Structure 1
Amino acid sequence: MYEPIRAKSVHTTMAGTTADFPHRSREEELDIQLAGHLAALLAVTDELRAAAPSAGLDASAERLTEQVARLRGGRTPTRASRGRRERSAMALHRRAHALAGRALVVAASRADTAAAILAAECMDAHTAALEPRTLASH
């Protein structure tokens, strides 16, 4: 019912041998992906810090910076400017929670305990920020 493939693969004929283009290991790819998620989380954290400064956000930003630098071989991430954006704090917390979740998945698959703990702590902090504050009734 199906015809057999008669031609050589485009990938091998265009590139010649497989040594003609760079290859990364799975660990290198996961490092790149994890650094990207953590850098995006750092950018959102910087936005939250600009909107409502707090010691907790400052500490989180510092830890995120350390992890991104570690994953990028010592290169520190570019930080967001202090300019205000028009997103609400709730939207930023939702975005940060989603990014922390992605980072946690990649950190777990890479078995990076430090990054996984940091991502889980960030998820918890942003979950708490998203929960409605209830007032005790009298």
Structure 2
Amino acid sequence: MYEPIRTKSVHRMGGGRADYPHRSRGEELDIQLAGHLAALLAVTDELGLDDAARQIAAQVARLRGTEPARRADRTADETAALHQRAHDLAARALLVAASRADTTAAILAAERMDAHSAALRLAGAGAP
């Protein structure tokens, strides 16, 4: 009824191929978390929040093993938009940190979310 398989399967069960590197789930989550934090660092630098930027840069360096690139110029014409973007990036970092049980990064991301929420509230209160 069925024709027999004549070639070997391209899918393997068990041991993987040795000709390319494999990463564990934890390593993949480290890479993802470092990316989210690096994006948050870029916005934090633009806002001129030096203390927060130093804390975030330390976490990125811990995850990547090297210091992150930093912005030299800090213009903030769209301060509210930058705070909203930073809040969203911190939220993404918090989700990844929670999934990998990285308490240090999760606390940092939650603190940044709170700080940017407060800044958005202040910006909204000052508007006419």
Gaps of 5+ in 1: 50-56
Aligned partner (choices 53, 71, 74) of residue 80 of structure 1:
71
Matching residue of 1:59? 51
Q: Normalization by structure 2: what TM-score?
A: 0.82
1:76-104 CA-to-partner distances (Å, cap 9, x unmatched) read 0000121637x511111111011000000
Counting aligned pairs with the same residue, the percent is 63
Gaps of 5+ in 2: none
Evaluate the alpha carbon distance shift between residue 45 and residue 24 of structure 1 in structure 2; reply closer, same or farther with a 3 A threshold: same
Counterpart for residue 100 of structure 1: 90
What is the TM-score with the length of structure 1 in the denominator?
Answer: 0.76
Aligned alpha-carbon RMSD (Å): 2.4
Question: How far is the alpha carbon of 1:18 from its aligned partner?
Answer: 1.5
- Compute the displacement of 1:59 (Å): 1.0
Q: Residues 97 and 103 of structure 2 are in contact (CA less than 8 Å); yes or no, is this contact kept in structure 1?
A: yes
Evaluate the alpha carbon distance shift between residue 83 and residue 119 of structure 1 in structure 2; reply closer, same or farther with a 3 A threshold.
closer
Structure 1 runs of 4+ aligned residues shifted over 6 Å read none
Counterpart-to-counterpart distance in 2, 1:34 and 1:126: 19
Match of 2:31 in 1: 32
